[in-house]
A and B are shown apart, each in its own frame.
Chain A
């Protein structure tokens, strides 16, 4: 029993913490947050119209299209960042809950047994 609890609150807890730390890093990578932040207002997919050699009347049109391209990119990235934040918050809530259960595992098991017996006996 001692070995189990030593492992539960020692080595395996470290593994769990490392796992969740990696999970958050993974989410950061999955939602490409670094890219989103560093290129927030960059032209979307390098879809840029060159001004060089364009007649004056078309330059304004090109400028507008480029702005639109940046806006499209920014909107997509902002939505992605929001999605990341939402998922991260949900994960964080889950992780906190999980860690609480982990740390109080024996109590949780006892509580479940107590609730189980209580409900079966109708107390």
Chain B
């Protein structure tokens, strides 16, 4: 249809740039009008009845005319009615077909033609190239108002009512009214429509769909962009959703229409196996992949594996036969790639030599089931391969093919000798799968074996492909759980899987996380729309992390963390400030780094509060004291001790196991300078990438840990430098230099810490405060255990501060002093019944001196 409008037509509304939007006379408006009629209940009912009526009338007319004896006593009235019904039925079919196949669709090339006509300065009617959904939604707007009088907000209001827009808006989790309100009215609708034409052409759409117009609005409106940024929605997200929605629509449309030539599937026919051998025995120990795909309904779509599938195709089509090994980590999609290849084989979309072949996956469980010796397994396997080779149309799939060549074999039988002749002869095709490590160990290392296989590396899907895989997976999960997953939830799943499931590969980890989050949200919370915060809540529970957004109680704690920690740590303001800052940054999610939340090296003399500061943070922040673990690094002074931390193939490691079980925790490494240098090297990776590989090869994420290391190294330097009245920054620089020059710590290790904190020695005033703190603890202990209220006189505190002061030993002498002077005295009095439950006691200097 020619979208050009004749100038003498009525009702046309002139716009700039020859753009006209006229509803009357366009095919798409006719479709909209017909749709209105079809959607009336009475019409629906009549259309529903027309089908059986039409078919019955055909049968009746056929019988009357060709088998008159079969119908006795034919009344001509009924026959006449049958003829009329048949006429109505045929006309109905024709109109319906016309409506679906022609009216609702914009002809291919209409958009390009429109652009050409615009370039020639001819008037064109844009409404004629609107998609059906867009036309239906905006028909009343463009019919009733002049284009110059239409504002962006009005356009948006109508646009957001389109059926295909609801898919996009729902997936973004937006409120249509808020979207409209975010728009400014400072742009011309004509400009927006013209931009939408360009967007549609760029995306190879036949007509302007609702998504194209929405994207045009988004690009033109700063207000809308800002509004969507609050939901972390960007241009690429909207594009991705438009593509998703169009794909779904195209899938539905492709199944409509009676005369659809692409609905035929050419699978080789009834005789595809007639010139090939029997595989009765083989099928007892294998699963027919081609059959399982046919049962899937051939709706299977493999995303992002075209390159790998082509490589398999090329390899297996080589003259003389070849075999393939798909190499990649577990969960990366090796089996899915084989399914994609199998689908092409079924459809005959591969070279003739392998077209319509059967792909049989060896079932290793069945192979070893019920046998009593290795010899039986070897015999079975050999018989299977022999049959496959003789048949001539079999491709054998062996998952984890490296098992055949390892010492373990299958059920401990080494099947290398069985397989090798078949690999060499080229009598059959074998597709194997293997993980990277085992492939390198058992196949690549054996040249004669490796020569018989073409390696196809299967990489992790990333970016757009990963999003598309989840978009493809989501509908299955949604239909099972009766829910809708927003696009932001999908993005959150990908991001969280990357951060918290480092040990698994894409797409398996994202799919697993998506399933878990949706199932949990729908079953336990009863929600039907899964948004990104639902994913965050699921992650918090699954990995025992703090809630995604800090609650009010936690916010108060975070903002007052210094004060809370000072209740148990005297002085050391720099250290406490650095720790509190790291915690606030982490919980406010200011950064997104995979590194630990914070990593600190506390340096200073003994007894000044290094360990106590770490414990204070754990008490202040974690409600649960189990979220901190202390490693005394003086116990890890040899190289072999590294395995106590990271484990071996057979044993778990203390450090890695703890972090796997409690990803959000505080790790305290006391006296770190005493650890073996190889152990210190572990920290380079932990502090830089937030990941450590344990003895079993599993990756452990340290991204949610706080790491505190303490050391006495450089204590003398601290005392000396402070004695020279240097400021804190000078002290830190001097100290760092000293540590590197004395080879106490490597420069690259020191650089990786978030903060290197120098703890200054305690002066007498601080020791007095320490004394008060310790006495306070003693008071609460005695009150709790003995119900005795203790007070201490100021002169007693002064006495204790003087008696317990040792600048070199820090606060530890004070603990001993209080134990000697105060606790001993109390213990005696209690034992002598001089004080009893419910009594009070004021401790004076005389009592303890």
Contact = CB atoms under 8 A, between A and B. Distances in A.
Contacts of B274: 32, 35-36, 39, 44-45, 73, 76-77
A112 B268 CA distance: 42
A80 B30 CA distance: 49
A119 B101 CA distance: 35
Contact of A31 (B77, B79, B264, B269): B269
B390 interface: yes
B76 A120 contact: yes
A32 B272 contact: yes
B271 interface: yes
Contacts of B101: 7, 11-12, 15
Interface string B480-524: 000000000000000000000000000000000000000000000
Nearest to A13: B259
A105 interface: yes
Contacts of B390: 46
A18 interface: yes
Given A29-B268, A29-B269, A120-B81, A45 B278 contact: yes
Nearest to A115: B83
A42 B273 CA distance: 13
B272 A35 contact: yes
Contacts of A30: 269-270
Contact of B277 (A7, A25, A47): A47
Contacts of B97: 12
B275 A46 contact: yes
B79, B80, B272 pick with most chain A CB within 10 angstroms: B80
B266 A45 contact: no
Contacts of B391: 46
A119 B274 CA distance: 55
Nearest to A30: B269
B500 to A, nearest CB: 50
A80 B271 contact: yes
B270 A112 contact: no
Interface string B270-289: 11111111100000000000
Contact of A35 (B77, B266, B275): B275
A120 to B, nearest CB: 4
A53 interface: no
B319 interface: no
Interface string A22-40: 1101100111110110010
Contact of A119 (B76, B98, B266, B269): B76
A112 B276 contact: no
Contacts of B260: 19
B271 to A, nearest CB: 3
B119 interface: no
B266 A29 contact: yes
Given A30-B270, A32-B270, A32-B271, A47 B278 contact: yes
A30 B362 CA distance: 28
Contacts of A12: 97-98, 101-102, 259
B268 A116 contact: no
Interface in B85-104: 86-87, 90-91, 94, 97-98, 101-102
A92 interface: no
Q: Is the interface of B mostly helix, strand, loop or mixed?
A: helix
B155 interface: no
B80 A117 contact: yes
User: Which of under 10, 10 to 19, 20 to 34, or 35 or more describes the interface residues of A?
Assistant: 35 or more
A113 B89 CA distance: 12
B261 interface: yes
Q: Is the interface of A mostly helix, strand, loop or mixed?
A: helix
A32 B268 CA distance: 6
A68 B191 CA distance: 79
Contacts of B87: 109, 112-113, 116
A16 interface: yes
Interface in B210-265: 259-261, 264
Nearest to A112: B87
A19 to B, nearest CB: 4
Contacts of B276: 45-46
B263 to A, nearest CB: 9
B392 interface: yes
Nearest to A83: B270
A55 interface: no
Contacts of B79: 119
A6 to B, nearest CB: 9
A122 B271 contact: no
A25, A45, A121 pick with most chain B CB within 10 angstroms: A45
A119 B98 CA distance: 30
A76 to B, nearest CB: 7
B80 A115 contact: yes
A122 B91 CA distance: 24
Contacts of A57: none
B1 interface: yes
A89 interface: no
Given A15-B259, A46-B276, A35 B271 contact: yes
B261 A19 contact: yes
Nearest to A76: B274
B558 interface: no
Contacts of B81: 116, 120
B94 A116 contact: no
A56 interface: no
Nearest to B392: A46
Given A12-B97, A22-B264, A105-B94, A120 B77 contact: yes
A18 to B, nearest CB: 5
B27 interface: yes
Contacts of A46: 275-277, 390-392
B640 interface: no
A18, A19, A116 pick with most chain B CB within 10 angstroms: A116
Interface string A3-17: 110011001100110
Given A46-B276, A118-B80, A112 B264 contact: no
A15 B101 CA distance: 10
29 contacts: A3-B1, A11-B102, A12-B102, A15-B101, A18-B259, A18-B261, A22-B261, A25-B266, A29-B267, A29-B269, A32-B268, A32-B270, A33-B269, A35-B268, A35-B269, A36-B271, A45-B273, A45-B275, A45-B277, A45-B278, A46-B276, A73-B274, A109-B87, A109-B91, A112-B84, A117-B80, A119-B80, A122-B76, A122-B77
Interface of B: 1, 27, 30, 76-77, 79-84, 86-87, 90-91, 94, 97-98, 101-102, 259-261, 264, 266-278, 390-392
Interface of A: 3-4, 7-8, 11-12, 15-16, 18-19, 21-23, 25-26, 29-33, 35-36, 39, 42, 44-47, 73, 76-77, 80, 105, 108-109, 112-113, 115-122
Question: Which 3 A-B residue pairings sit nearest by Cβ, starting from the closest?
Answer: A119-B80, A32-B271, A120-B80
Given A4-B98, A31-B269, 16 more contacts: A8-B98, A19-B260, A21-B261, A35-B272, A36-B274, A39-B274, A46-B392, A73-B274, A77-B271, A80-B270, A105-B90, A112-B83, A112-B84, A113-B83, A116-B87, A119-B79
